[in-house]
Amino acid sequence: MAELVLCTATELYNILNQSTKFSRLAEPNYLCLLDARSKREYNESHIITAKRAKQNEDMCFVLPASIELDCMKYLVVYDSRTDSLDVEGPAIQCAKVMSQVTRLPVLVLKGGYEEFSGYYHFFRSQKVFWMPQEIDEFQPYPIEIIPGLLYIGDLRQANDRHIQKDLKIKSHVNVSLEPTNLSLPTGQLLHIPVPDSCDSDLLQSFPSGCQFIDSHMTTNGAVLVFSKLGISRSSALLIAYIIHYRKCTLQEAWNHVLKCKTNMRPNRGFVQQLSEWEKTILGQQLTDISDPKF
């Protein structure tokens, strides 16, 4: 039997928005999202791509048909507002049934639908059936690094006005050669035009990048850090910012950004520069970047 683990709204948001070339939601064994609320509540509105958890005549939850739960990377269950594993609500009851056939932890959404939809109202849906083509065409949102304040994305997301409005993004840090198509007020854009090359010097831009994010990351507006693909340059700058913001090691900052964005991958030159930045902020190099995972 698998264990039950609480999952925050931000964690589910990031799970829904992981992508490689396409959204990972198109992968058949990536995510099973189950809504344990009543049929009426589900039909009124649910989290995008969620399936309603079915019950038998005794009102006991049953395993979903035609889904191999033991092969799923993520299995997430939610009800209206469960926020503890100690409360025997619908989400916990459903999760316990699912845990009997899975190896990985069953995630229970902390705060349930009410909290998630409060933060991410644009991910509410009444759509019950998704065609494969519709999933293939799903356009992910930027990944959330600091809830409501700091995001990482790619050039497409940076040019999407709906995304800017939904996430209340007011300022951009463009860590690529390509310009953005959006017209931003003076002072709301920092452009760091560097190629994604091991020879590129991003280290000299870490101080100005961190200062810009600090000064624009407010409760009234978030900051989007982006590069062309949102994988190398933007990841490197965000790791540098987390080291600065939390006064933590490169290892700790790396782990945080990787947990949020699973395909982030600064090139080897940027990793070396991040090690030098760690020494600048903390006074010494504490992370062994010879480890293959870097």
Q: What is the mean pLDDT of each run of 10 residues along the chain (294 residues)?
A: 95 96 92 96 96 93 87 96 93 96 94 97 92 88 97 96 96 94 89 96 98 91 96 98 98 98 97 98 96 84
> Which pLDDT value is given to residue 220?
81
> 288: helix, coil or strand?
coil
Q: Roughly how many angstroms between the first and final C-alpha of the chain, as a whole number?
A: 34
The tokens 């520069």 sit on which residue? 273
Nearest 5°: phi and psi at 169? -80, 120
Instruction: List the domains of the chain with CATH numbers.
Output: 4-136 (3.40.250.10), 143-282 (3.90.190.10)
> Which pLDDT value is given to residue 176?
95
Whether residue 216 contacts residue 188, with contact meaning beta carbons closer than 8 Å, is answered with: yes
CA dihedral (260, 266, 270, 273) positive or negative? positive
2: CB partners within 8 A, 6+ apart: 98, 99, 102, 103, 104, 105, 106
Residue 22: both structure tokens together: 């396409």
Whether residue 162 contacts residue 237, with contact meaning beta carbons closer than 8 Å, is answered with: no
**In whole angstroms, what is the distance from residue 153 CA to residue 151 CA?**
7
Whether residue 12 contacts residue 112, with contact meaning beta carbons closer than 8 Å, is answered with: no
> Which pLDDT value is given to residue 181?
85
> Which pLDDT value is given to residue 219?
76
Nearest in space to 23 (alpha carbons), one of 156, 167, 179: 156
The model's pTM:
0.96
> Which pLDDT value is given to residue 291?
85
> Which pLDDT value is given to residue 268?
96
> Which pLDDT value is given to residue 18?
97
| Angle made by CA atoms 253, 226, 185, in degrees to the nearest 5 | 120
What is 129-160 written as a DSSP string?
Answer: ---HHHHHT--PPPEEEETTTEEEE-HHHHT-
